Amino acid sequence: MDMTQAIILTIMTAATPLLLAAIGELVVERSGVLNLGVEGMMVMGAVCAFAIAQLTGSAGLGAIGGLIAGMLFSLLFGFLTLTLVANQVATGLALTILGLGLSGMIGESFIGLPGLKLAAVPIPLLSDIPFFGRLLFDQDPIFYTSIIAVIGVNWFLFKSRAGLRLRAIGDSHTSAHALGVKVVRTRYLAVMFGGACAGLAGAHLSIVYTPQWVENMTAGRGWIALALVVFASWRPTRVLAGAYLFGAVSIGQLHAQALGLGIPSQLLSALPYLATIAVLVVISLNRRMTLINTPASLGKSFVPER
């Protein structure tokens, strides 16, 4: 493995959890629900994945456990905001705070234990392609899932009838309801998908990225994922670009430091945020396109008329 490959691999590892959490949240927001609890669902995914991997001795089961944990946790949000029609912003924030606390409690006995790492699954033949084979086809299953999720969500939203309905709900839940679309049920499914993605993103942190459990190990990644969705103007391909750009600049700045170039480290640390915002703002300059892509009912509660 040469140095370029090593650097690109590091970037991919850094980008995968952001991408997964963001693509899940994108679907949630496209359905008109704003779930600010990404960080909380992610950290719950991380702790459950780690715990299940430890208890069963299988990192694969851990990954699935993380996914389910995120999904179950998001159901709490769904119940509060969709069934009880609580304020989405407040509920989402509460979900994050609850997740950080609860995960600390669940994970207490797992602190200081080295974890299991989810093994890479090389894809036969494809992984033998020089240079790119190692990068794209000799990775862990969560990486593959993140890429498939982007392609799948892109197809679902813009090519399938169900996706069209979901977007219609996000733009005007009353109109969609009037047309007979099941608003609450669709939103529940979207929220659960978002939770599953965030949970899997958390699992990536605790069994692939850094195989260990430490409290608060998401360290704000859920918030970055949330920001990525907005700056990518709710387009899956742009989320992909944004997550990888963020990863690339984060890793690039570390290398710039190790080379001893003498650029202030504080500035370099801020660079991933600045670069991602700048690029995504530039590609969203077409205001009409941005308006079309913004879910008009985002964050608004829906009470079906009886």
Partner 1 sequence: MKKTLLLLAAATALAGISAPANAAGMDKVKACFIYVGPVGDFGWSYQHDQGRLFAEEKLGDKLETAYLESVPEGADAERAIERFARSGCNIIFTTSFGYMDQTNKVAKDFPDVKFEHATGYKREHPNVTTYDSRFYQGRYILGQIAAKVSKVGTAGYIASFPIPEVIQGINSFILGAQSVDPDFKLKVIWSNTWFDPGKEADAAKALLDQGADILTQHTDSTAPMQVAAERGAHAFGQASDMYDFGKETQLTAIVDDWGPYYVERISAVLDGTWEQSSTWGGMAEGHVVMAPYTNMPDDVKAMAEETEAKITSGELHPFTGPIMKQDGTEWLADGVVAEDGELAGMNFYVKGVDDKLQQ
Q: x/- contact string, 14-53, with partner 1 (CB under 8 A)?
A: x--x------------------------------------
Q: Is 172 helix (H, G, I), strand (E, B) or coil?
A: coil
Can you tell me the distance from the alpha carbon of 114 to that of 109, in angstroms, rounded to the nearest whole number?
Answer: 12
Can you tell me the distance from the alpha carbon of 29 to that of 242, in angstroms, rounded to the nearest whole number?
Answer: 17
The CB density around residue 110, as the number of other CB atoms within 10 Å, is 18
- Tell me whether residue 261 or residue 282 sits nearer to partner 1 (CB atom): 261
Q: Which of 205, 207, 227, 248 binds partner 1 (CB under 8 A)?
A: 205
Question: Total residues at the site for partner 1 (CB under 8 A)?
Answer: 40
Minimum CB–partner distance for residue 225 and partner 1 (Å): 13
Residue 210 engages partner 1 in binding (rule: CB under 8 A): yes
Can you tell me the distance from the alpha carbon of 164 to that of 77, in angstroms, rounded to the nearest whole number?
Answer: 24
Can you tell me the distance from the alpha carbon of 26 to that of 232, in angstroms, rounded to the nearest whole number?
Answer: 9
Structure tokens at 239: 């989320």
- Tell me whether residue 13 or residue 81 sits nearer to partner 1 (CB atom): 13
Can you tell me the distance from the alpha carbon of 120 to that of 60, in angstroms, rounded to the nearest whole number?
Answer: 11
Query: 174 Cβ partners below 8 Å, 6+ apart?
Result: 302
Q: Which of 124, 125, 180, 258 binds partner 1 (CB under 8 A)?
A: 258
Residue 215 engages partner 1 in binding (rule: CB under 8 A): yes
Q: What angle do CA 30, 84, 191 make, to 5 degrees?
A: 30
Minimum CB–partner distance for residue 264 and partner 1 (Å): 4
- Considering only the stretches 9-17, 91-99, 154-162, 187-195, report the one whose residues sit in contact with partner 1 under the rule CB under 8 A: 9-17
- Tell me whether residue 17 or residue 194 sits nearer to partner 1 (CB atom): 17
Residue 201 engages partner 1 in binding (rule: CB under 8 A): no
Query: 46 Cβ partners below 8 Å, 6+ apart?
Result: 66, 103, 202, 203, 205, 206, 213, 217, 218
CB 44 within 8 A of CB 70: yes
Q: x/- contact string, 151-190, with partner 1 (CB under 8 A)?
A: ----------------------------------------
Minimum CB–partner distance for residue 37 and partner 1 (Å): 18
Can you tell me the distance from the alpha carbon of 191 to that of 198, in angstroms, rounded to the nearest whole number?
Answer: 10
Can you tell me the distance from the alpha carbon of 46 to that of 187, in angstroms, rounded to the nearest whole number?
Answer: 24
Q: Which of 7, 61, 64, 120 binds partner 1 (CB under 8 A)?
A: 7
**Alpha helices by DSSP H, the chain:** 3-30, 38-56, 59-78, 88-107, 132-136, 141-159, 161-171, 173-178, 183-204, 221-231, 236-258, 265-283, 287-293
Q: Which of 130, 266, 282, 285 binds partner 1 (CB under 8 A)?
A: 266
Q: x/- contact string, 78-117, with partner 1 (CB under 8 A)?
A: --------------------------x--xx--xxxx---
Q: x/- contact string, 216-245, with partner 1 (CB under 8 A)?
A: xx-xxx------------------------
CB 14 within 8 A of CB 35: no
Residues lying near partner 1 in the complex (CB under 8 A) are found at 3, 6-7, 10, 13-14, 17, 104, 107-108, 111-114, 205, 209-217, 219-221, 250-251, 254-255, 257-260, 262, 264-266, 269
